[in-house]
Amino acid sequence: MTTETVAGQLGEFRAASTASGGTALTTTATYIQLPLKSNHIFITPRNFSTAVVARVILNPWLVVLKTTDNMITTPTDYSNAAQDASTSTDVDVSVLGALTDGDFLLVGSHLPFRGVYIDVDGTNAAGTATLNVHYWNGAWADASDTDGTFSTMVFAQDGLVYWAVPATWKPESIVNLYPTMTTKTYYSDVPLYWTRWSVSVALTDTAITFNSMVAANRSTAYGELLSGQTLEERINHGEIGGIGCVEALTDAGTANLVVNVATLRDGRFK
């Protein structure tokens, strides 16, 4: 068993969004969220059945924005609500209009990512809309996404929206993408890898919400941990350049993954 020492004093310490005894793992990836302002993470796999290793990777923090006027005014920032490990805060896409109406989501990160896992809270129960995801390569290009939330209509179930990571994807700042948005924010001048999410026709359901939207790592070259082997890492959760969630699965069979987090000294979770 490998142990490490975390330098410096810790503040608050708690489990991440895991069940007692750890999140159940299978050969299908699961996404473990972290409370806002987590600064240290402690990951330990246990309870292996047939599994040889737990496969683990840390995924980047996303900036999640919604506009209904083609980014003329400051968009609604859902970044925290999408990644705070809380079911009491939601991303609201009720009656989202079509791209021609100026309605869409912008989802970006400091690193490329291969998709976004969505935990749908209020499911879409009306219409036949489909999802279109584009990425920036100097212009908006079709990502040819596969929509795991689709079941006769978009956002009807939990699922991974994913694509092949484009070789031509380029980071760009919001001020360059949308110079009509004159209000400066923390993300305005930061070059990020942006995706634009739009629906084929306006949504008519008035109660479509997401508990979470978290990144799927650009790579599937997971780190591998043996049973009882602990990974400890300093992270910045809740800010650009930080970690958004833990992605994990097994090589075979099942296991559990215990994920604990802590703040810096005198810090506290939000």
| Residue 117 contacts residue 160 (beta carbons within 8 Å) | yes
Share in percent of the chain as helix, strand, coil (round to 5): 5, 45, 55
d(CA 40, CA 36): 11
- pLDDT tens per residue across span 203-261: 999 999 999 999 999 999 999 999 999 999 999 999 999 999 999 999 999 999 999 99
- Burial of 164 (C-beta count, 10 Å sphere; 0-12/13-18/19+): exposed
Whether residue 1 is predicted with pLDDT greater than 60 in this model: the reply is: no
d(CA 213, CA 217): 13
In DSSP notation, 134-171 reads EEESSSEEE---EETT-SSSTTSS-EEEE-PPPTT---
Residue with tokens 């490990």: 85
With vertex at residue 215, the alpha carbon angle to CA 67 and CA 187, rounded to the nearest 5 degrees, is 45
Q: What is the pLDDT of residue 7?
A: 54
Q: What is the pLDDT of residue 140?
A: 98
Structure tokens at 251: 């090589």
| Residue 16 contacts residue 235 (beta carbons within 8 Å) | no
- Burial of 139 (C-beta count, 10 Å sphere; 0-12/13-18/19+): exposed
Residue with tokens 């990020």: 192
- pLDDT tens per residue across span 126-149: 989 999 999 999 999 999 999 999
Confidence of residue 267 (pLDDT cuts 50, 70, 90): confident
- pLDDT tens per residue across span 182-199: 889 999 999 999 999 999
Domains of the chain by start residue, with CATH: 10-59+219-264 (2.60.120.10), 62-217 (2.60.120)
- pLDDT tens per residue across span 18-76: 778 999 999 999 999 999 989 999 999 999 999 999 999 999 999 999 999 999 999 99
